[in-house]
Amino acid sequence: MAQDAITAVINSADVQGKYLDATALSKLKAYFSSGELRVRAATTISANAAAIVKEAVAKSLLYSDITRPGGNMYTTRRYAACIRDLDYYLRYATYAMLAGDPSILDERVLNGLKETYNSLGVPVGPTVQAIQAIKEVTAALVGADAGKEMGTYLDYISSGLS
Ligand SMILES: CCC1=C(C)/C(=C/C2=NC(=C\c3[nH]c(/C=C4\NC(=O)[C@H](C)[C@H]4CC)c(C)c3CCC(=O)O)/C(CCC(=O)O)=C2C)NC1=O
């Protein structure tokens, strides 16, 4: 089950049958105090999602061999599938950023993804490059603090694919 920063600390205290300790409480405090930042970043990202992906693709994949005959992004169908995948990564990273927890990424994005990519010949290296470009474009848009937070979850997807 996907969880969030709150259920994560509660579950781990409950396993021990204890109240939240100082570490758990300070984790929660950090999560609550960054709440407005998270919501503001999510609002900006959702209003600019298509532009973020487009700019990230321009920075990373466009005009490379991958978009030419023989490349995995060649043909409109595959190009569109790639853009759609990047859109998923941005959207689910935004959910995880709001939740303050990466488990939703394991559950809904990374589960079986590597196998799917391998069987379709979708190259992981360029996919990770595009995700890293999304990270840069997003940080430029939402600012350093929220950008760093988003970066955590975009990196989580990158490592899950590699
Ligand atoms: C929400 C969770 C979720 C994810 C993550 C997801 C990914 C996903 N990407 C796919 C395909 C694909 N993914 C790509 C992506 C790329 N090719 C490249 O060269 C680029 C580097 C890269 C974009 C960055 C392409 C081109 C295909 C189509 C491959 C094919 O059918 O030949 C497929 C196979 C089925 C399909 O074509 O729709 C899945 C399941 N689906 C999901 O439901």
Digit-coded pLDDT (tens) for 49-76:
999 999 999 999 998 999 999 999 999 9
Ligand 1 pocket test, candidate residues 78, 111, 115, most atoms within 8 A of CB: 78
Q: What is the pLDDT of residues 110-121, one digit of tens each?
A: 999 999 999 999
**Residue 68, annotated ligand binder?**
no
Contact criterion met (CB below 8 Å) for 99 and 2: yes
Summarize the confidence of residues 11-36 as an average pLDDT. 96
* Alpha helices per DSSP H over 63-143: 76-99, 103-105, 113-120, 124-142
pLDDT tops 80 at residue 1: no
Mean pLDDT taken over the chain: 97
pLDDT for 129: 97
DSSP per position, 26-50: HHHHHHHHTHHHHHHHHHHHHHHHH
Q: What is the pLDDT of residues 103-159, one digit of tens each?
A: 999 999 999 999 999 999 999 999 999 999 999 999 999 999 999 999 999 999 999
Contact criterion met (CB below 8 Å) for 21 and 62: no
Write out residues with Cβ below 6 Å of ligand 1: 61, 66, 72-73, 78, 81-82, 85-86, 88, 108-109, 113, 116, 120, 122-123, 126-127, 130
pLDDT for 43: 98
Two tokens, residue 135: 């990270």
